């Protein structure tokens, strides 16, 4: 972390596990939350992958003590999924579109869901409390439903979730100093395009998936002519007993500068 001045947002670490060609699942239709898909996916992992994952987790915990793990809604629902019906009826829009923090937690599981698409059944466990990141256009019945479930949410952005604003709110309201993105290419790609990736923790296992459109660690919009790749500095690599690789990189851009 820069010592020049206090940052406006937490440190953001992207933590991903992928095939050698950067793929994180077999296709967009096959989500790793599906036990059958997860079993097939992990059947291609050599025994050193879980070992490297444990080392990576310990490294992140020891150096940064993260209190927020972040995912995108695409981890949970299909691309075509529409908004959850929620609670129909009349709602006080000005009230519902305020941050809602009915409880506090030492750790949070934050999910970006500006369209209100995830029909939550999990809201908290002994390790973390669910936090939904929404925006001004998130359907009011969905926000009312989250309140009925006592699920905390933060409102960040207008037409879609503004990740910069969401991170600033997580620091200001939740005292978060480090956020780890364990999501798919959508959320990671959005963080990248917003200039919010401070560290990358990648594990590659020795397999090739291929395929145009197969989800990768960073998806989303391509670079525009005025944008440049985000330069990263190598901070260390561990090669597992079976050829899997864990590498750590840090951004060369001062995160306390302009976002």
Whether residue 85 is found in the same domain as residue 165:
yes
User: Would you place residue 255 in the very low, low, confident or very high pLDDT band (cuts 50, 70, 90)?
Assistant: low
Residues 173-182, mean pLDDT to the nearest whole number = 97
Whether residue 75 is found in the same domain as residue 157:
yes
Whether residue 137 is found in the same domain as residue 197:
no
Of 87, 69, 208, 215, nearest in space to 130 by CA: 69
The 10s digit of each residue's pLDDT in 203-241 is: 999 999 999 999 999 999 899 998 899 999 999 999 999
Whether residue 105 is found in the same domain as residue 202:
no
From CA 63, how far away is CA 99, in angstroms rounded?
Answer: 30
From CA 102, how far away is CA 152, in angstroms rounded?
Answer: 6
Which uninterrupted H or E stretch holds 238?
strand 232-239
Whether residue 160 is found in the same domain as residue 232:
no
Whether residue 156 is found in the same domain as residue 115:
yes
| Total number of domains constituting the chain | 2
How many Å separate Cα 194 from the centre of its chain? 13
The 10s digit of each residue's pLDDT in 101-112 is: 999 999 999 999
Whether residue 118 is found in the same domain as residue 23:
no
Per-residue pLDDT at 258 exceeds 50: no
Last residue of a domain, one of 137, 159, 175: 175
Q: What is the dihedral of CA 16, 219, 39, 121, to 10 degrees?
A: 90
CATH of the domain at 40: 3.40.430.10
Per-residue pLDDT at 1 exceeds 50: no
Q: Beta-carbon neighbour count of residue 20 at 10 Å?
A: 14
Whether residue 259 is found in the same domain as residue 216:
yes
Last residue of a domain, one of 175, 199, 218: 175
Whether residue 93 is found in the same domain as residue 39:
no
Per-residue pLDDT at 4 exceeds 60: no
Of 193, 198, 191, 182, nearest in space to 256 by CA: 198
Whether residue 150 is found in the same domain as residue 160:
yes
- Per the structure, the complete domain to which residue 111 belongs is given by 70-175
Whether residue 92 is found in the same domain as residue 163:
yes
Whether residue 184 is found in the same domain as residue 61:
yes
Last residue of a domain, one of 175, 197, 220: 175
What is the number of H-type helices and E-type strands within the chain? Answer: 6, 9
């Amino acid at each position: 972390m820069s010592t020049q001045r206090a940052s406006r947002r937490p440190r953001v670490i992207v933590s991903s596990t992928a095939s050698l060609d950067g793929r994180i699942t077999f296709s967009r239709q096959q989500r790793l939350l599906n036990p059958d898909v997860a079993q097939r996916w992990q059947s291609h992992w050599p025994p050193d992958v879980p070992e490297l994952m444990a080392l990576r987790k310990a490294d992140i915990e020891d150096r940064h003590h993260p209190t927020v793990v972040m995912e995108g809604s695409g981890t949970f629902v299909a691309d075509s999924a529409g908004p959850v019906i929620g609670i129909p009826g009349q709602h006080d829009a000005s009230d519902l579109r305020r941050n809602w923090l009915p409880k506090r937690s030492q750790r949070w599981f934050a999910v970006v869901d500006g369209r209100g698409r995830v029909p939550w059944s999990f809201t908290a466990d002994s390790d973390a409390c669910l936090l939904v990141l929404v925006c001004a256009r998130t359907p009011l019945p969905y926000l009312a439903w989250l309140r009925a479930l006592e699920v905390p949410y933060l409102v960040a952005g207008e037409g879609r979730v503004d990740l910069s604003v969401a991170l600033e709110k997580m620091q200001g309201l939740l005292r978060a100093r480090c956020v780890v993105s364990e999501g798919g290419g959508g959320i990671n790609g959005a963080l990248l395009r917003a200039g919010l990736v401070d560290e990358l923790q990648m594990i590659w296992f020795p397999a090739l998936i291929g395929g145009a459109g197969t989800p990768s660690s960073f998806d989303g919009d391509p670079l525009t002519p005025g944008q440049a790749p985000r330069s990263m500095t190598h901070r260390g690599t561990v090669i597992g007993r079976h050829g899997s690789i864990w590498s750590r990189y840090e951004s060369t851009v001062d995160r306390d500068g302009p976002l």
